[in-house]
């Protein structure tokens, strides 16, 4: 089914690009692509998305992030048949989020609780966004699609009720 292809595609693309960056760059090295706007910056992120909660002690942080990632994946597999009956947008959302979660979970398992990040965006040196990866992008896009679905589905339900 196409949902599995999206999940596998996100995992494979993210892991291949992470491997490529890791094998060709030093940790904390940056390569400008579009000056002051887009750089490839290789870092290892101890925290959640965009470095959140990275200050937590490792003996708490690592099991927490592993449990959250694994818990979400178990949730998706448990509700898989129900998700299959949902709209295209919901299925795409869960596929993107699951692919991103699996890929970042693989990093956490094999890299002592860390995730490899490499995409750095900003307007200038003082307005930089957090460094992230393809898996983070897939998760964010999936969540945005879910929000669009719930906003539009909620609006159509209210119209039908009146």
pLDDT tens per residue, range 33-71: 998 889 999 999 988 776 777 788 888 888 888 898 889
Q: Return the percentage of the chain with pLDDT > 90, whole number.
A: 56
Q: Is 14 a catalytic residue?
A: no
pLDDT tens per residue, range 108-135: 999 888 999 999 998 877 788 889 999 9
Residue 145 has pLDDT above 70, yes or no: yes
Tell me, what's the pLDDT at 154?
58
Identify the active-site residue in 14, 55, 107, 136.
Answer: 136
Tell me the sheet residues that pair with 128: 122
Tell me, what's the pLDDT at 5?
97
Q: Is 107 a catalytic residue?
A: no
Tell me, what's the pLDDT at 83?
86
What is the three-class DSSP state of 87?
Answer: coil
- Sketch the domain layout of the chain as residue ranges: 2-150
State phi, psi for 113 to the nearest 5 degrees: 85, 5
What is the three-class DSSP state of 113?
Answer: coil
Q: How confident is the model at residue 21 (pLDDT cuts 50, 70, 90)?
A: very high
Tell me, what's the pLDDT at 55?
83
d(CA 151, CA 60): 35
Strands (E), the chain: 30-34, 38-45, 115-121
- Across the range 1-29, mean pLDDT stands at 96
How big is the chain, counted in residues? Answer: 162
Identify the active-site residue in 14, 36, 55, 117.
Answer: 117
Whole-number average pLDDT of the chain: 88
Nearest to 30 by CA among 21, 41, 38: 41
Q: How many CA atoms lie within 13 A of 100 on its CB side?
A: 21
61-100 per-residue burial string, b: 16 or more CB within 10 A, e: under 16: bbeebeeebeebbeebeeeeeebeeeeebbbbbbbbbbbb
Q: Return the percentage of the chain with pLDDT > 70, whole number.
A: 93
Tell me, what's the pLDDT at 40?
96
Tell me, what's the pLDDT at 92?
96
Radius of gyration from C-alpha coordinates of the chain: 18
d(CA 86, CA 76): 13
């Amino acid at each position: 089914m196409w949902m599995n292809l999206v999940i596998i595609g996100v995992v494979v693309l993210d892991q291949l690009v992470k491997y490529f960056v890791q094998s060709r760059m030093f940790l904390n090295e940056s390569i400008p692509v579009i000056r002051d706007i887009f750089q490839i910056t290789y870092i290892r992120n101890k925290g959640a998305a965009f470095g959140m909660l990275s200050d937590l002690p490792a003996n708490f942080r690592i099991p927490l992030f592993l449990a959250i990632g694994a818990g979400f994946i178990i949730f998706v597999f448990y509700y898989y048949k129900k998700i299959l009956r949902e709209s295209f947008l919901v299925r795409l959302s869960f596929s993107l989020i699951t692919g991103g979660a699996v890929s970042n979970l693989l990093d956490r398992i094999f890299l002592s609780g860390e995730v490899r990040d490499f995409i750095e965006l900003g307007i200038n040196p003082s307005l930089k966004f957090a460094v992230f990866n393809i898996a983070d992008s897939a998760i964010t896009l999936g969540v945005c699609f879910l929000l669009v679905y719930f906003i539009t589905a909620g609006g159509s339900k209210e119209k039908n009720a009146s």
